Structures are given as structure tokens and as C-alpha cells.
Structure 1
């Protein structure tokens, strides 16, 4: 076993332990984890896209936006998180039009801020939030792991050769099937599941996870970066590890909001809304 592989395995164990422990504890611990992830993501995004070369004032406003969203997620009012994020993003978009900043700035603020808001909202501080967060984790992790191994084993046509030459259609399909099975197993462990909702939800989140992975690959290829950073020994950067999770969490959050709208604005936790049709 090479030194790099040992380092990669050790980092994976530490990351998994921290994530599962804070997910179990919930509350302030998980909110702080979500905030740290979002702040690290924005640092990597701004570094990769070289935002400091265009406007330091714009970058400072971007940092202020993400920090405020992060602090509010940890010690503020959760109901303000989404309005704050949208307000900051729209403000930066307007300033981009007026000052000719790069659109990557507004994109980075929204991407990093949405990671904080949606992760914290899904976990919330109740038992259903714990199950919902596990469901998202297992869906994303199953997709990543099985897409890699099935793709390497079966090969075949490339999924997006210009963006990520290593990904195949066989891997994408294998990862999606594994995500559906994994997501159903997690939910069935806690609820009496019936119907079509959970398999379809896992399918959608798996597809979104893979789209998020491709999106980050596009950014890295666009700016000539191999990894988003070197923050995690043996793994690259935080974005390299949470690209699929960020998009899947955002999709889960938007699905929950849609369910709330369909149910005439019923107030419930995001996890409760996600499992609304699961027979819990």
C-alpha cells in the first residue's frame, strides 16, 4: 500500500467519523459543520476562479455575504437563512451588472451559501431530520462509490468526455441503481415505507449528485485546476468531496419546498416534507 493511499484512507475515516458524529448530534454541531463546509467551498471557488484578479472589493462583499449566512445558520434565525442568501446574491448580481465584475462571484456566493442553508435545513434538529440527512448522504455516497467501480469494471460510452473523460454511462446507471437501493434501505430502517416516492426521490437526488460532480469538473477544466484545493490530505479540496452533496441537498430542499406549496404552505421540517409521501 502506497503512502498516498494510506493517507487517503486515513483522511476518509476521519471525515466519515466527523460527519456521522455531527449528524447524530445535530443542532449546533451540525450547523457549525455546514458553515465550515460553505466557507471552505467559497474559498476554493474564489481561488479557482481567480476572483481576486478582478475586484478585491467584490471578493470582500462575497466573503461578507457567505460569512453572514454561515453565522446566521449557526446562531441566528433559520428562517432568515434563505432570504439572506437570496438578498446577497441578487445584490452581487446587480453590482456585477454595474461594475462589470465576474458572474463567477455571484455564482460562488450562491453555491457556497446554498450548501450551508440546505444542509442545515435538512438536518434541522429533530429525528426526522437525522433520517433525511442520512438518506441524502447514502444516496450521494452510493452514487459516487458504485459509479466509480461499475464504470471501471464495465467501461463503455463516456458520459461527458469533454468535461470528465473518466465517467461512463455504465457507471452513472450503476451509481443511480445503488442510490435507489441505498436510499430505500435507509428509509425502510426507520419508517414503514410504501409506494413510489422514496425510489423516485433517490433517483432524482442521484442524478442531481452526478450533475453536481460534472459541474465542478467543468469549473476545474475551465480554469485549469486539477483539484479544488489541497485542504484534505489525499483527497484534494472540500468541493471535490461535496460537489455532489451540495447539488443533491439543494435539490432535496427545493423538492421539500415544492411539497409544502402543493400542501398549501404547510409548515413542517424539510425532512418531514421529504418523507411526506413515504408512508411514515
Structure 2
């Protein structure tokens, strides 16, 4: 428990520092986390009948994140985003030259690694540039709401949890914990507008609700993945916390949805 607390404390400091130090720390740092998450995904799913194209997949994720980075930093125009489509088709072609047991499985897992573990970090990075210029408070607020939801779910579940949420996937999660996490995130979101520039109060609340609901589902999806491949943690790089997929499972589902909500239904202030 002590190791977990110490690791969590310093990891949070690093994350907050990477966001607040500016775009040239924020973008590379979370791009690196995205690439490590993709590699972690390939490591845990690989077995005798599944051999994802790891180098190609990580390279594909790198291109996507690099293209998004150059766009949001104003280095390249919007049309550069089209470049990220090109490696997509190379996955199919390369599979023709590999003598593996199930090439279609290999293609599927390779693309899933990029889409599931890499692309969400591109959306998270884009959250910092919704107005065209870097605003650290939106991605920082996202992280705070994500942590708040996790904390609220843990405390509510431990105190009041009786009704299982998805017992076959995650036996410890309860509906009471789920509701407690969403409510606490919404309460914190209601107050973030007083301290963070960039969004109105109602936008923060809706953002909190999206994170509370879909962050929890992201956690369950990652639990389903680990149960499917027979591992307890996605990695061991963070003592007491597992791997990057374990720490960012909620972000993987919530970040794209929060970005789309803010682009379609909300104008930043």
C-alpha cells in the first residue's frame, strides 16, 4: 500500500507538471505515454496464435501522434492529418509476407492496438488546443475529473457497495460505486469553472458526466482485455499500479468522446 501511494503521488506530480510546463512538454510527454501504451498492449496480447506486428503498429501510432502534434503546435497545416491514413493499409500488405498461423488475427490485433491504446492520446493532446492555442486547464481538468471519479467510485463502493456492476468482468465494481464516482466528478466539475479558464460551468459538468460514465466503461473494457489474455496487470512499470493501460484505461474511452462533445456542442470561452 505504501509503495502504491508513493508511486501514485510522484506519478501525479509528473503528469501535472507535464501539462502545466507548456505545449512542448505536454505534447511529447503524452505522445510517449501513448506509444508505450500501444507497445504494452502488443506485449500482453501476443501468444502463439496471435503475433501482432509490433514495430509497424508502434510506428503507425507514432505517425498519428506526430501528425497531430505538428498540427496542434502550428508546424503543419490541417491537410497533414491525411498522412496518418497511409500506414493503415500497409498493415494488410505486410501480413501477406509473414508466415504466421492466423494473419487476420495479427492484422486485427495490430490495428486494435493503435486504435484502442494510441489514438485516444491524440484526442487528449488535442483537448489542450481546442481554441487553436494551448490551454493547459482543459486537459488538467480532464485528469482531475478522471481521478475524482476513480476516488469517488472507490470510496462509495467500499462504503455502500452491494449491487455488482459487471461481476463477470470486474467482481469488485458496484453500481453504488459507479454512481458515487459520477456524482463526485459532477460536483467537482461544477466548481472547476471558478478556477480554470476555457469552459463554462455546464461544459465542465457534462465533461464530468462523460468521464464518469465512459471512464468507468473504459476501466471495464481494459479489465475484459486482461481477463481475455489472462494477465492481472498490463505491466509493472508503475510499482503498485501496474502498467500504463491500467492507469489510463478510463482516458482511452472518455478522451475521444469529451473532445467530440466540446467540438460539436460547446464553444470554448
* TM-score, normalised with respect to structure 2: 0.84
Counterpart for residue 112 of structure 1 = 117
CA distance in 2, matches of 1:26, 1:192: 16
Give runs of aligned pairs for residues 127-146 of structure 1, distance below 5 A. 129-146=135-152
Pairwise CA RMSD of aligned residues? 2.8
Separation in structure 2 between the aligned mates of residue 66 and residue 51 of structure 1, nearest angstrom: 22
Shift in Å at residue 8 of structure 1?
A: 1.2
The aligned residue for residue 59 of structure 1 is: 54
The answer (yes or no) to whether the contact 2:64–2:119 under 8 Å persists in 1 is no
How big is each residue's C-alpha offset from its partner over 1:27-76, in whole Å with a ceiling of 9 and x where there is no partner?
110111111111111111001111685446x33321220122344455x3
Structure 1 residues 109, 132: CA separation in 2 closer, same or farther (over 3 Å shift)?
A: same
Q: Does 1:30 align with 2:36?
A: no
After TM superposition, give the deviation of residue 90 of structure 1 in Å: 5.9
CA distance in 2, matches of 1:80, 1:88: 16
Among 104, 107, 126, the alignment partner of 1:100 is 104
Residues 91/187 of structure 1: CA separation in 2 closer, same or farther (3 Å cut): farther
CA distance in 1, matches of 2:157, 2:169: 16
What stretches of structure 2 of length at least 5 have no aligned partner?
73-77, 98-102
Count of residues in Structure 1 that have an aligned counterpart in Structure 2: 257
Q: What's the secondary structure of 1:65's corresponding residue?
A: helix
Structure 1 equivalent of residue 235 of structure 2: 229
Match runs of 1:158-173 below 5 Å: 158-173=164-179
Q: 1:155 to 1:109 in 2, by over 3 A?
A: same
How far does the alpha carbon of each residue in 1:65-99 deviate from its partner, in whole angstroms, 9 at most, with x for none?
A: 0122344455x334467544455446547877994
2:71 aligned residue (55, 72, 77):
77
Question: In structure 1, what is the Cα distance between the partners aligned to 2:177 and 2:92?
Answer: 37
What's the offset of the Cα at 1:226? 0.1
Alignment partner of 2:194: what SS? helix
Summarize the Cα distance change of 1:194–1:119 in structure 2 as closer, same or farther, 3 Å threshold. Answer: closer
Give the superposition deviation at 1:251: 1.1
Are the equivalent residues in 2 in contact too, given 1:51–1:59 (CA < 8 A)? no
Gaps of 5+ in 1: 260-273
Report the CA distance shift for 1:167/1:100 in structure 2 as closer, same or farther (over 3 A).
same
TM superposition score normalised by structure 1: 0.81
* 1:253 is aligned to 2:259: yes
Change (3 A) 1:234 1:218: same
Q: Which moved more, 1:152-161 or 1:61-70?
A: 61-70
Contact kept in structure 1, 2:65 and 2:119, CA below 8 Å: no
Q: How does 1:177-196 map to 2 (within 5 A)?
A: 177-190=183-196, 196=202
